[in-house]
Amino acid sequence: MKSYIDKLNEMNIGTVLENEPLANHTTWKIGGPADVMVEPDSIVDLQAIMTFLQEEKIPWRAIGRGSNLLVSDKGIRGVVIKLGENLSELTVDGEEITVGGGYSLIKLATVISKQGLSGLEFAGGIPGSVGGAVFMNAGAHGSDISKILKRAHILYEDGTMRWIENEDMAFSYRTSRLQKEKGICIEAVFQLKAGDREKIKEELQHNKDYRRKSQPWNFPCAGSVFRNPLPNYAGQLIEKANLKGHQIGGAQVSDMHGNFIVNVKDATAEDVLQLIQHIKDTVKNKFDVKMETEVEIIGE
């Protein structure tokens, strides 16, 4: 392992950390160490990293702001690439914006609303990065990324980069083609619409307030744990099953919202996994509905 860490350091491509606890990089505050974490300084550096990892056959995965993610207690072998502040440039060209994959989605929605551009109001309370939002087709309040994405700039694991148009992203509910093929969204172009600045800001604030009142951000969490098994809603099924407040170890089904699991006291990934399984079993037994996780579960 040491040899490739030395090489990554010699490449001068950003920050390289060994045995970095991923609990420091996830909104759940859960996760064992990554063998190596790299935070590239630029897209060019990220491309160089990807080419090197491919040549050396070193396993990798990318993360953004660490929401919607459960990392195992044993951590992740190989290299974790973190898209951070250095990949968060923003360019506004009329009603079209180009934004880096590391940009905070909440921050983007706020910044864009002040410029009188509409389309991102739904994203005001989604605690992820632009790259992660494209990966998941993140959404809320009746809208999602597929409604505003024009094209995405994707870096593939062989080091090649390609712009993918919206219609080729295979978007569906909380799904995109990036969940089936190994690639990182390094930039996104969003098509927005000019509107009344005050009305846009008002709707954005309304969505933020709704999330603040209905969702538990007083404890570390990862957002919604389960996909909605339409026409049902995951949170409602969990609440009808009397699982609100149910706790295993340090992980608890939120008292505020059934589809949130909160880290109330030093929860481990194993605590969360056991609680997820208990929820699945209970809902299946009571309502004959199969629950599927929305959070991505990764690691050894």
The reply to whether 98 and 151 lie within a common domain is yes
Query: How far is Cα 298 from Cα 300, in angstroms, rounded to an integer?
Result: 7
Clarify whether 104 is annotated catalytic.
no
| 77 among known catalytic residues | no
Q: What is the mean pLDDT of the chain?
A: 94
pLDDT at 1 (0 to 100): 55
What number is the average pLDDT over the span 278-297? 97
- pTM for this model (two decimals): 0.90
Number of domains present in the structure of the chain: 3
53 neighbors 111 (Cβ within 8 angstroms): no
Q: Give the end of a domain, one of 68, 85, 102.
A: 85
- CATH code (residue 139): 3.30.465.10
pLDDT confidence bin for 208, thresholds 50/70/90: confident
Q: Which residue has the tokens 């170890």?
A: 249
What is the domain extent for residue 261? 234-298
Q: Is 146 a catalytic residue?
A: no
CB-CB contact of 68 with 26 (8 Å): no
Residue 146 has pLDDT above 80, yes or no: yes
Encode pLDDT of 82-108 as tens digits: 998 899 999 999 999 999 999 999 999
Do 210 and 94 lie in a common domain? yes
- Mark which of 37, 69, 85 sits at the end of a domain: 85
Per annotation, catalytic residue among 67, 129, 176, 224: 224
Query: Residue 290: what pLDDT?
Result: 97
Helices (H) and strands (E) in the chain, counts: 7, 18
| Active-site residue, from 174, 187, 203, 254 | 174
Residues 110 and 185 in one domain: yes
Q: In the predicted model, is pLDDT for residue 281 greater than 70?
A: yes
In a domain, 130, yes or no: yes
229 belongs to a structural domain: no
Q: Out of 39, 187, 203, 294, which one is annotated catalytic?
A: 294
CATH number for the domain including 276?
3.90.78.10
